[in-house]
Amino acid sequence: MKTICFYFQVHQPFRLKRYRFFDIGRDHYYYDDFLNEDIIHRVADQSLVRANRTMLDMINESGGKFKVAFSISGLALDQMETDVPEVLDGFRALAKTGNVEFLAETYSHSLASLADPVEFENQVKAHAAKIELLFGQKPKVFRNTELIYNDDISEIIAAMGFQGMLVEGAKHVLGWKSPNYLYSSAVNPNLKLLLRNSKFSEDISTRFSHYEWTDYPLTADKFMNWIASTPESEQLINLFMNYEVLGNMQPAESGIFDFFKALPRFAAEKNIGFSTPSEVINKLKTVDVLSVPYPTSWLGEEKDVNGWIGNVLQKETFKKLYSISERVRLLPPEKRTLRQDWSYLQASDHFFYMTTKQSLKGFSPYDNPYDAFSNYMNVLADFIDRVYAVYPSSIENDELEPLVTMINSQSDTIRALEKEVEELKKSKKIMAKGKRSSEISLN
């Protein structure tokens, strides 16, 4: 029996305000609150609220046969909590059905996996903890930012105890192989790999409402016929896409919501089921290992990472950002604002806005990539100055940790001595009080 694994990405960054060179050192707040609130409300109204209701209806009307998975970035969750709690309530309602799996990802929807393994691991742990807190699920499957994957990343994820990971079914990696099977990592076979079927996923996500598409209009019946006609041995069809496909990327008037609601009925007619990623891992056996020495993603025709770090502008900002990661990790807990800015500035979107590849042009709050670069670098310059104010640039990275350890040790010693002094003072007061009581009784 064939099974479909539906997965949706949910993410919104904290976009930066216009930050001039002369703002450096004077203004430490970087975000365009009006734009961020406007976009999250618009996305909620056009897409997320109705999409959640649609998924819930699909689960209930199919008698629990429809299943789906989500990964929601920490930055999106932060905005939902403050601006659109009704969206978060919708995801909680889906979680209660038992038919929805929430995956782990990087908290900041960052590119840390390409630069800093320690930061990457810290973000994954922070995100998994947030998912467990909000939805009562401890993630077992990982989905990296933009499906970025290679052998090195798989080794880190396997060591963290995850059972599986979502991967782009890139043709230059698969060769003659089909994405419609379960694979495993070449460096750690215990980590199972679910490969995105790019053709079927993009039929929905990008081609659904295109009148010039030869297969327009796409109906649920036609789509399930395509899946049913795949070779009998290919039992797994992974459909991975952005959740905003429902109502935003594909507007409601295109019929996208009706299309999704009809899928379970036509799937049942073709004896096609639905599974979450964890169920796929438990049900199916792997057919082969997959070796991916160079990073892949689900972006563009090349399926590489050049959309984020492919040009000189992107490489310069990427290198500069992660050059201070060790200092940021050593910041004391009271530097919460700096830590939050560090998280927000790592979002992959900031780098994507700098892409000069015409084929990848999408929404950007900037007029051109050079404005995006200039604005981000101004913000980053101010942020780095604030970090250096805590740990000066004159201190080398390899000197930092011993220095912080020594400072913390001294702080602990001072606190212990202060506590001892307080206890001595209390003891002295008690003794003095006892002495006065004795004198009174003698008199």
Is 386 exposed, middle or buried (CB count within 10 Å of its CB: 0-12, 13-18, 19+)? middle
Q: What is the pTM of this model?
A: 0.89
Question: Does 433 or 261 have the greater pLDDT score?
Answer: 261
404: pLDDT strictly greater than 50? no
Condensed to tens digits (0 to 9), the pLDDT of residues 10-42 reads 999 999 999 999 999 999 999 999 999 999 999
pLDDT of residue 419: 73
φ, ψ dihedrals at 205, nearest 5°: -75, -35
User: Which active-site residues does the annotation give?
Assistant: 146
Condensed to tens digits (0 to 9), the pLDDT of residues 99-136 reads 999 999 999 999 999 999 999 999 999 999 999 999 99
Condensed to tens digits (0 to 9), the pLDDT of residues 229-286 reads 999 999 999 999 999 999 999 999 999 999 999 999 999 999 999 999 999 999 999 9
Q: CA nearest 195: which of 266, 332, 292?
A: 292
Helix, strand, coil in percent for the chain, rounding step 5:
55, 15, 35
Condensed to tens digits (0 to 9), the pLDDT of residues 313-367 reads 999 999 999 999 999 999 999 999 999 999 999 999 999 999 998 777 778 999 9
pLDDT of residue 357: 86
Q: CA nearest 168: which of 129, 138, 197, 192?
A: 197
How confident is the model over 283-311, as a mean pLDDT? 96
Q: What percent of the chain has a predicted confidence (pLDDT) above 90?
A: 86
Question: Under a CB-based contact definition with an 8 Å cutoff, are residues 200 and 239 in contact?
Answer: yes
pLDDT of residue 393: 74
pLDDT of residue 65: 98
φ, ψ dihedrals at 288, nearest 5°: -170, 165
pLDDT of residue 124: 98
Assigned token pair, 173: 């990696």
Cβ count near 226 (within 10 Å): 14
Residue 251 CA to residue 245 CA, distance in Å, equals 8
The number of residues in the chain equals 443
pLDDT of residue 408: 47
- Give the angle subtended at the CA of 300 by the CAs of 294 and 305, to the nearest 5°: 35
3-class SS of residue 377 = helix
Local confidence band at 434 (pLDDT 50, 70, 90 cut-offs): low
Between the alpha carbon of residue 401 and those of residues 233, 251, 398, the distances in Å are: 54, 52, 7
